[in-house]
Structure 1
């Protein structure tokens, strides 16, 4: 039996080899085609085992530094839904490269060297919902380049070199909700550029070269909620520019060259909630310019050249919570008949020329939580000015001309946690100054004219964590000045008389306190 097996075995091997050879030539192995030719080849810069073996056949991300993509690189990827081409260095792209990607929903081409987009590039991408062409060198688009993209909801064209937008540029995009055009070089937008975009909710044209905007440019954008035109070169705006934008909630026209706004410019945007007019050259605003803006809760007027507000200026803004008037040329904020909006929560009037505050300016204001009056020329505060501000937790009075602070100036500030008084001319801090501030955590009285600290000056401020007294003339500290401040973490006394460092008040401090001498 063994001898028979020895005789048959070689013959069996020969037969098997013959059959294998016959099968090979009858059915030779097929060469890899389409995407597998690139994603399954270990020598290819596109090699990706997840794509090759179909581990994630719905999403592909390429970061390869390549100037040209093979036109058949995505052939056969019928299930692809997300395609990202980032930092590829692409200089050109074949118009048929996305053919047959009928299920693609998101396409992102970012940070490439593309200067031209073929007019047929997006043909067939009928399910596309998000398209991003950002940080390229594209200066313009062919007509009807977005033809057929009826399901597109988001279009990002920011950070390119676009110089103008043609009429009906986006007329095919019936489902578009968000359009981003910021950080281009756009100097001209035709009147019919946005025609057909009746579902558009967000439009960003920030940081371009627009010097004017035609009055009918936003006609038909009935769904628009967010419009950003900041950082352009706009010097005037037509009074009826926003008349069709009845659903607008946020408008940003900051950082332009506006010197005047018509009193009726906001007449038809009654749903507006956020308005930013900062960083322009406005010197005056009409008393009734905000008529009808009953939902406005954020208003930015900072960095203009405003000099004065009339007594009833903010009366038409019953919902106003955040108001920034900093860096203007205000000399005063109303007079004894002036009233601040009752719902105001954050107020910044810093960096103006204000010399005094009307005593009743905060009458009826109970929700203010941050107040900044720094960098003005205020020397005195009338008693009772802040008595209603029980919710105030951050107060900046720094960089003014305060010399003496009467004891009753701060009555009512029961919830204050951060108090900044640095860079004034304060000579003394006596008993009772901070007694009502039981929640105080940080106090800065540096760079003043203090010469001594009395005993128990902080007796009610048990939650103090940081006290800054640097750059004064302090030569005397009573023994129990810091007594009871068990939570104190930082004490700044540098640039004062060196004798105070040997005082009992300093020696009795907890070793856990960081002493900055």
Structure 2
């Protein structure tokens, strides 16, 4: 196939259909790209000729599948870079031709000479760049000859480096980046990874398994406590591993499994007491192990370590590691102490054994089962009826500490009593006794109640309307408005956003109609119009809707703190039956509330279902589910109220019941019932009466609800507030969506919110990217407000328009400073068509104080340095077109930096002193 114009070799399975192919000649084809796994299935090819093409990079998966390849010729291409490991899987390779390629001999291919020598391959390839290595024979170079600069990207894409790190070639440095976990997007070609001096607590196999070319890993000065089994699985080239100065207490037996090339291992400065026999068994190349500054427990269980240190090689452990316990072995060196001295005199202390076995002391009480976590620590699986970190608490009426400021005592099943602390009263000890009664505060001062005391707060001034505050000025004042308000006195309220376009009018009430695929194909083949009778189409319902015509809304997602559904009052005679199917990851939230003084409240509390039931027989009966339901899975809660009895069943498990004993028989109320949340006023009332422990709305999906054996249709609800239809998995697939949109009237789904223009006074409407209905108004000079409905006063403060209800007296007052709610403009109002001129807005460009650590490479200041930056909420509005808010005056200051290698030096930085509008628009920093 030579001397053609193939251009590319695609991964389309072609060679899998040619199992007997043994030689492939693709010379002189102008090939620029060979896709990964393109040769998959070509297991019998022994000779591959790619000379005279235009390949620039050899990737690590380019030759996957060529298990029998012995001759690979890449002469006379444009190859500059070869990804580490590109030839590792070619185990039969005996001839490799790389001549006449412009190889870029930076650190990216420093691995190649050693690999060639290890495979006894000697191609006559030479370097083209950098200048220092031009025409040098690749086979004769050493690793130290290859250098990289920060600009050398090698075979990697321009955005290959994680945001918190600095990358030079295949060396990734993430030191002192305040990381709590290993970055996810570390490139797989990385050969050296530096993660020292961070806050990383765990190192998981999935985080680093893809780094198969890694030779050095530095994890020193972190918070790692356990190295679990198979953590470094697949890192077969790793030669240096540094885990010194962590909180390491346990290295599991298979933690270092597979590290056959490891030469240097540092575990210095940790909290290790014992190492499992065989933990170093795969370290065939080890030359140095650092175990110093660990509290080693030297009994018979550590005898193997003494023997291994003495037999592993000359000074593998250089005589630094010492025994800490038992007393007879204290301060003795592992290297020089006779192995026979490592003897057992009883069981090691529990604090030693528990470092690698967190369940050793059996911390779980009341029949709970202890499970050790792979990454350290443990969890207790509590028996039914118990909860807590160690299953120490019984789930009873006092579950969740219902007494706000007192001690809870169980009276009987489902009932409790609160003994209040001094200064508190109320059924739940929720009321702080008012010490302001008959207080002695004078001159209209405000009395502030404290616990068993009070204080007097003198009034410094007055608050303006709509939450604004009064700011004193020179012979005048101004109102600092709350977000969204405007006007001289903050009297202009925010405007509501425009609604979205109405629903499409067709038989599918809440969905789209489409033809089944067979009918659609038949129509195309027969060249007849689409079938239109009622029996010829189906309704694809929008998420949350069901029914033949998508007429029922049966599932909702609650995502806001004030989400709720209001329904008719619950019928409780002869009984009430409510079933809810829901999913959430929130620990708290209202599921259902029906009440006044008597009530039925169902809520999430600490991940369990809490029931509060009171038909008028005081005190209230309370119950909690044994099951946890805040795990993101769907759960079914069945609620049955029969007179005084209330029963809860979760996920068809055992039922739990309580009895609200007393004279009354039924719960009879005329108030509405609420699902998923409660209106604010009713919620506050329920909270004050302890019907609800938390008034946050439920956040998650209410998949379905049945009330008295009838499925709830939210279309018929009295009110549905701040919810969205359906759950995440109900979204239609892309293929279905494509089929649907072919047959819909696309025009009614692409209404432009800017047509007609909603912005007043010549404002320009800009549609928000990614939203079908949201827009922003960009106002002309002299106007302000969400829809440019306000005009500016002479000083720039927005004032209400003539059509408003604002008194004429207030409209006349305009000579004030600019309000923060709107930018200032020129002193003279421009005409409707006059072009605006750039005039700095007084006060809009300002200096903002900062306090930051100064960093430079691997060096940083010892403490945060005070600085400032120039900021403006809208630089163009504040300073005019072509201008920006920038430093006007700076001063120099010397700071001292300390580096990771211990060196120190002094650096001059400029601190911003004054800011102003100007034309020099360089990026501002706290240290200019």
- Structure with greater Cα Rg: 2
Q: TM-score, normalised by structure 1?
A: 0.32
User: Larger % of strand: which?
Assistant: 2
